[in-house]
A and B are shown apart, each in its own frame.
Chain A
Amino acid sequence: MTDLDTPPVAAMSTTATPARPSTHRVFLAILRRDLLVTAKELWVILVQVGLTPLFMLFVFVKVLGGQGIVARNFADLFLPGIIALAALTTALQSVALPLVKEFGFTREIEDRLLAPLSTNLVAVGKLVVAMLRGLIAAALIYPLGALMVGSAPWQPGRLPMVLLTVLLGGWIGGGIGMTLAMILPIQRINITFSLVVTPIIWTGCIHYPWPRLSSMPWFQTVTALNPMTYVSEGVRGAMLPDVAHIPAWVCLLVLTGVAALVTVTSVRSFSRRAVQ
């Protein structure tokens, strides 16, 4: 601790070149910064993710269900979809919006880009945090949603499958969000967000199990192209094993593939933007 006992001006040895810190140490420091910010913004996440799904649940389950317009058991189908939606869209938003800001006028990201760490790993750190935020969102929405629906399907043995699906969904959401934030010109961020996020929500089997779409083959095909579908089906299958659903292994396989793909596109677009 020479730093503590010598005056700061004279403290430094003049010849030694600074040592290069280990990769994991730098990576963890950058991760810690994002976690600190996440902790500070927990209530923001809550509002961001909680409001829309909870209103959806309220309208579909309490209002429409209460009047018999929608069947009672619809609530049970809907809750897993809402959890999946929260995981993916929270991750997407929580990486895209800050990145637009940090790369845009505040240029806050520069301090982290100048850390002795590969730029690719800075991007990976962002995905990790996005995934964790997705997980937090899913974990928050489950009790709130269950409270509103009035029942909480609980299959402890299936918890690992739910967790895995939610984490993959969060990772994918983060990857999509980062790619969009990096490749879109700032002026067009808003419109493109709507253009991308809205179809992800409405063709993602949040409100209905995928096998039930067999009466509408074209729509079934469209939904099969949406990664959101596999997050919804994965969570629903684990929480409601008796409802017809896409097999878990198919969900995990597709989600892993998509996760790998968005990792490549997002990290690449991040690095291209970071060093011009």
Chain B
Amino acid sequence: MASSGGSPPAVEVTDLVKRYPGCTTAAVDGLSFTVAPGEIFGLLGPNGAGKSTTIGILTTRLRASAGRALVGGIDVVGDPVAARAQLAVVPQHNNLDRSLTPRQNLLYHAAYHGVGRAVRNARADALLDRFGLTDRADKRIEAYSGGMVQRLMIARALIHEPAVLFLDEPTNGLDPQSRRLIWSRIREMRGRGVTVVLTTHQMNAAAALVDRVGIVDHGRLLTLDTPGNLVKGLAGRSILDLTVTPAALDEPDELLRALSEVSGVRKSERLAAAAPPGAVAAKLRSGLGLGGGSGFGAGAPAALTALTALARERAVATLAPDPGGRERVRIRLHLAADPAAVLGPALTVLTTRLATLTDVHIAEPSLEDVFIGLTGRDPR
């Protein structure tokens, strides 16, 4: 068990199996993991991997076919009623009570969990405020947008102050504003000592938020570690893309060979199309650039700041406007070392060969690469 201080795990799953009636394959197939108290644990996996099924069992809504599942030290099969007092869940679908107003959804949920009247009124007011729903608290649920529904469901889950909170794709289909709000509320859970188990398909957000991730596919655990360690496993997978215009007398292939001899470069290749001609200054971006606008990308790694400074330093020689005439070449360097350590020498090569650099793009391996590497590229 990874938990410190010898306290029992908040969630403990052992050889869990779930076979839906009439299905030949198991939706959850021998899953085992533990979550320490106060930990934020991410359960990642492709569609149909069995994440929701696992959460369904842990929240007593589904009956396990085999194996054991404890929440807050309580067996969810043996004593589901006591287990329910420990937990709250935000499901993947909207299951708000349509017969009640949003505020009543919070108040009745609290009452179902034995929270007294004065306390639940105060908490409902506070939660409606924190989730930006105060002025819509007494409207009809049907008039709620997806983001409001999701915020209300999270507020509902928090009102009885559970020890363990399960979130099944809490930011699915939400705009960046709502996503940020929800991620920041989840981060607050850590300060309150609430254990959080969440599933998501937003890898960047997950990597920034969770303490550990388990990646599941076909109901089985493929790997379980901190996001940092998982990404470290892909070290030497960074990519440096350069768009250059070789000097008039230089051959692109010669330039390529020279760059591949820079220490830390594992492999170099020429890419097909040239970058758009408007690119004058070097662009430095982090991540794979797969549109992962998670709200966390804003905090760029320290290495990147250093790179920007470095590039600016050399800009006199290399980052000149495209002289025209010569054709641009896009070169991809697969790195075995930290991109920061390679960029300098690579720029030196370009400078000595009088090549003009028009675009730089660094792609470091991310959790998504780990995920794709483990679960394959085919959609489910």
Given known A-B contacts A114-B60, A116-B82, A117-B81, A108 and B97 have beta carbons under 8 A apart? yes
Bound-state CA distance A36–B97 (Å) is 12
Interface-forming stretch among B87-95, B296-304, B370-378? B87-95
CB <8 Å contact, A17 and B163: yes
Question: What is the distance, in angstroms, from B208's C-beta to the closest C-beta of chain A?
Answer: 20
A188 contacts the other chain (CB 8 A): no
Given known A-B contacts A8-B123, A17-B72, A114-B59, A32 and B111 have beta carbons under 8 A apart? yes
> Which one, A8, A37, A114, contacts B99 given CB within 8 A?
A37
A222 contacts the other chain (CB 8 A): no
A242 contacts the other chain (CB 8 A): no
CB <8 Å contact, A106 and B98: yes
CB <8 Å contact, B122 and A9: no
Which residues of the other chain, B, contact A194 by a CB distance below 8 angstroms?
Answer: none
Of the four ranges (under 10, 10 to 19, 20 to 34, 35 or more), the interface on chain B belongs to 35 or more
CB <8 Å contact, B63 and A116: no
The 17 sampled A-B contact pairs (Cβ below 8 Å) are A3-B122, A21-B113, A21-B114, A26-B112, A29-B108, A32-B108, A32-B111, A107-B95, A111-B95, A111-B108, A111-B112, A114-B89, A116-B82, A117-B112, A275-B61, A275-B62, A276-B62
Given known A-B contacts A9-B191, A12-B193, A275-B60, A21 and B95 have beta carbons under 8 A apart? no
Which residues of the other chain, B, contact A10 by a CB distance below 8 angstroms?
Answer: 191
Question: Which of the listed residues A10, A14, A22, A111 has the most CB atoms from chain B within 10 Å of its own CB?
Answer: A111
Which residues of the other chain, A, contact B198 by a CB distance below 8 angstroms?
Answer: none
B38 contacts the other chain (CB 8 A): yes
> Which one, A14, A29, A33, contacts B38 given CB within 8 A?
A14
**Residue on A with the closest CB to B18?**
A276
Q: B residues bordering A, Cβ < 8 Å?
A: 20-21, 38, 59-63, 72, 80-82, 84-89, 91, 93-100, 104-105, 108-109, 111-114, 118-119, 122-123, 126-127, 130, 156, 160-163, 188, 191-194
Given known A-B contacts A29-B108, A29-B112, A14 and B192 have beta carbons under 8 A apart? yes
Which residues of the other chain, B, contact A243 by a CB distance below 8 angstroms?
Answer: none
Question: What is the distance, in angstroms, from A273's C-beta to the closest C-beta of chain B?
Answer: 11
CB <8 Å contact, A8 and B98: no
Which residues of the other chain, B, contact A115 by a CB distance below 8 angstroms?
Answer: 84, 112-113
Which residues of the other chain, B, contact A113 by a CB distance below 8 angstroms?
Answer: 61
Bound-state CA distance A222–B122 (Å) is 59
Question: Which of the listed residues B63, B99, B122, B194 has the most CB atoms from chain A within 10 Å of its own CB?
Answer: B99
Which residues 90-124 in A have Cβ within 8 Å of B in the complex? 106-108, 110-119
**Residue on B with the closest CB to A22?**
B114
A190 contacts the other chain (CB 8 A): no
Which residues of the other chain, B, contact A29 by a CB distance below 8 angstroms?
Answer: 108, 111-112, 114
Bound-state CA distance A230–B266 (Å) is 88
Question: What is the distance, in angstroms, from A139's C-beta to the closest C-beta of chain B?
Answer: 23
The 5 closest A-B pairs by CB, nearest first: A21-B114, A14-B193, A115-B112, A29-B111, A116-B85
Which residues of the other chain, A, contact B109 by a CB distance below 8 angstroms?
Answer: 111
